[in-house]
Amino acid sequence: MGFTIGGIRDIRSGSRRRARSTEITAVAEYTGLWGWDVVPGARAVRGGNGRTVCSCGADDCASPGAHPLAHADGLAAGATLEEAAYAWARTPGAAVLIPVGRTFDVLEVPEGAGRSALVRLERMGLPLGPVAATPTGRALFFVAPGAAAGLPGLLYRMGWDDAALDLCPRGPGDHVTAPPSDLGGLGPMRWLRPPTLDTAGRPPQARLLLGTLAYVCHRSAA
């Protein structure tokens, strides 16, 4: 890793003095402390006619402000603050995106259901990884890689395969817009359960959470 926890605290306390942006500090934490790869992402901006457009410049962008910048270099796990500052200086204002499918996959549910699931899972003493919330009312549960591909089989074995569940997997090829970045001009991402040294690199297997997530999604829909 690029630096210690104490180094992170030093970075945070000195970020204003060195005019570092919040995103640069977050990138350094994600790569250096949590061991995640990070890529610069596009932002949604307000056009002259009041319409939201993507900073990538494409008029027909399918995901305004929610995709990697085409020609920007990503940062591998272990990158330092200086490397993060250099990368973001080349793409000023870029959002912080984390590739899915490398260190973690994601199970996405409605935020209300996700909060209920968190309470239940904590009471049962089950392991939990990071959980993020979107400004659009979704909760993203970080789980071990392979969950997206294995989800249909898991739901079948648990008897949830024929239920109408608002539960979506994200896997290789997807990206998560990471806090504190803005998601598509709709507001900032935030953590419901922040990453820790124990959970960032070793999120739980999806099967440990899926029964509870499926139940609360089914109950909230009913």
Average pLDDT value for residue range 1-7: 41
Angle ∠(180,151,174) on CA atoms, nearest 5: 35
Residues 116 and 215 in one domain: yes
Domain edge (last residue) among 99, 126, 154 = 99
pLDDT tens sequence across 108-129: 999 999 999 999 999 999 999 9
Average pLDDT over residues 182-210: 95
b/e sequence 47-86, b meaning 16+ C-beta within 10 Å? eeeeeebbbbeeeebeebbbbbbeebebbebebbbebbbe
The token pair at 38 is: 């990070």
Residue type at 63 in one-letter notation: S
Q: Is 107 helix (H, G, I), strand (E, B) or coil?
A: strand
* Closest to 21 measured CA to CA, from 88, 90, 91, 99: 88
Residues near 141 by beta carbon (within 8 Å), at least 6 away in sequence? 106, 107, 108, 109, 114, 117, 128, 129, 131, 209, 213
Residues 144 and 171 in one domain: yes
Determine if residue 134 is left, alpha or beta; phi over 0 gives left, psi from -120 to 50 gives alpha, anything else beta: beta
- What confidence score (pLDDT) does residue 5 get? 39
Domain ends where: 51, 80, 99?
99
In this predicted model, what pLDDT tens digit does every residue of 48-98 receive, in sequence order?
666 788 988 888 888 888 999 988 889 999 999 899 999 988 888 899 999
- Give the end of a domain, one of 66, 99, 132: 99
Residue 37 belongs to domain spanning = 5-99
The model carries a pTM of 0.88
Q: Let me know whether 94 and 109 are in one domain.
A: no
Residues 6+ apart with CB under 8 A from 156: none
Residue 40 pLDDT greater than 80, yes or no: yes
17 in the same domain as 61: yes
